[in-house]
Amino acid sequence: MNTTILTPAMPTSGPFCLGDIEAYRDWRTWKLEAHPRSVADLVVPLADPTAPTPEEKARILDLCRRANMAVYDTGDRSGRAGPQLERALRSFAAHFGMTAVEDHRSMDDEAVVAIEVVDETQRPRSGFIPYTTRRILWHTDGYYKYGYPGAPVIRSMTLHCARQGREGGVNELLDPEIAYIRLRDENPEYARALMAPDAMTIPEFVEEDGRVRPESRGPVFWVDEDTGALQMRYTERSRNIAWRDDPLTREAVAFLRELLRGDDEPFLFRHRMEPGQGLICNNVLHTRTAFTDWEEPGRGRLMYRSRYSNRIMDTGLKQAA
């Protein structure tokens, strides 16, 4: 099966149009000045995730406008888990307009995916890297679900730490808009190459139940028609991926990889979440380092993830600019 129907047009005006230098300059200046400078700047304490106060909500929305992400902190280090917490997390997301939840093969009755170490009997999660102690390379979530009928483009997500491992499990985070700025500043043609409708292709995949996930072909960067916001899909994986075979695309991908692997980017944040903390974001670039888990039953690292096809409300370009 090879059906690619989602082909966003290149913008003809605004900051993401390569010919609109003034709009880009103005947006770039705002972005770099407004962006938080550290992980500590991203953290928002929450008294009750099911009912964020107007001040808590405003702070999270402001961070998501400026950095596409915030780290909330409920202060609950108890390690509690289960359906009640999952329902609370879905309720929390709904306060920010995150309602179009992804129908994921591994989600439970609360439409939440439990990311933890599993053995080969725990299908369908077993066999996939997130459910091991191995590191996860740079990516945006759902990069392989794009460009075919019914593909739920992932625009936002929450990732909540219920329990942390014994060592490791550090997340790296980077706002895709910062990645775009660095790429375009290096060479505007790199940005053009990664906005091509066939820049990145993920091949067809057959699920255990026989369902076929079609080939996913599309851009790395594109502009959302409804919000004017810049979207990104990316993976650092080297297997089961095909990049457009031209010099500019290869150079652009190499530059992006060096940016993500280097230590020079001031807005690349590293954070090991504590139990009770979580990430709410417009599908930012992120990683996870390898970790060592606890051996005691019921104590292992546990993260709850939900992904949505709508952005966090009021965080499009029209509101931010």
Q: What is the DSSP string of 107-135?
A: --TTS-EEE----TTSTTTTTSGGGSSS-
Q: What is the CA radius of gyration of the chain?
A: 19
Q: What pLDDT was estimated at residue 318? A: 52
Name 48's Cβ contacts closer than 8 Å, sequence gap at least 6.
none
Residue 242's φ and ψ, nearest 5 degrees, are -130, 125
Separation CA 252–CA 191 (nearest Å): 8
The dihedral formed by the CA atoms of 159, 285, 290 and 144, expressed in degrees to the nearest 10: 90
Q: What pLDDT was estimated at residue 320? A: 44
Instruction: Read off the pLDDT of residues 33-80 as tens digits, 9 standing for 90 and up.
Output: 999 999 999 999 999 999 999 999 999 999 999 999 999 999 999 999
**What domains lie within the chain, and their CATH numbers?**
21-320 (3.60.130.10)
Of the candidates 168, 143, 145, the residue with the CA atom closest to the CA atom of residue 284: 143
Name 96's Cβ contacts closer than 8 Å, sequence gap at least 6.
57, 60, 61, 64, 156, 280, 312, 313
% of the chain exceeding 90 in pLDDT: 79
Mean pLDDT over 13-25 rounds to 97
Instruction: Read off the pLDDT of residues 169-210 as tens digits, 9 standing for 90 and up.
Output: 999 999 999 999 999 999 999 999 999 999 999 998 887 677
What's the pLDDT band for 151 if we cut at 50, 70, 90? confident
Say yes or no to pLDDT of 145 above 60: yes
What's the pLDDT band for 321 if we cut at 50, 70, 90? very low
Q: What pLDDT was estimated at residue 2? A: 40
What's the pLDDT band for 1 if we cut at 50, 70, 90? very low
> Three-state SS for 24?
helix
Q: What pLDDT was estimated at residue 253? A: 98
The count of other CB atoms within 10 Å of the CB of residue 74 is 21
- Residue 266 corresponds to which tokens in the numbers above? 């001031």
Say yes or no to pLDDT of 287 above 50: yes
Say yes or no to pLDDT of 213 above 90: no
Q: What is the DSSP string of 36-55?
A: -SSHHHHEEE-S-TTS--HH
CB 92 within 8 Å of CB 50: yes
Mean pLDDT over 248-261 rounds to 98
Say yes or no to pLDDT of 261 above 60: yes
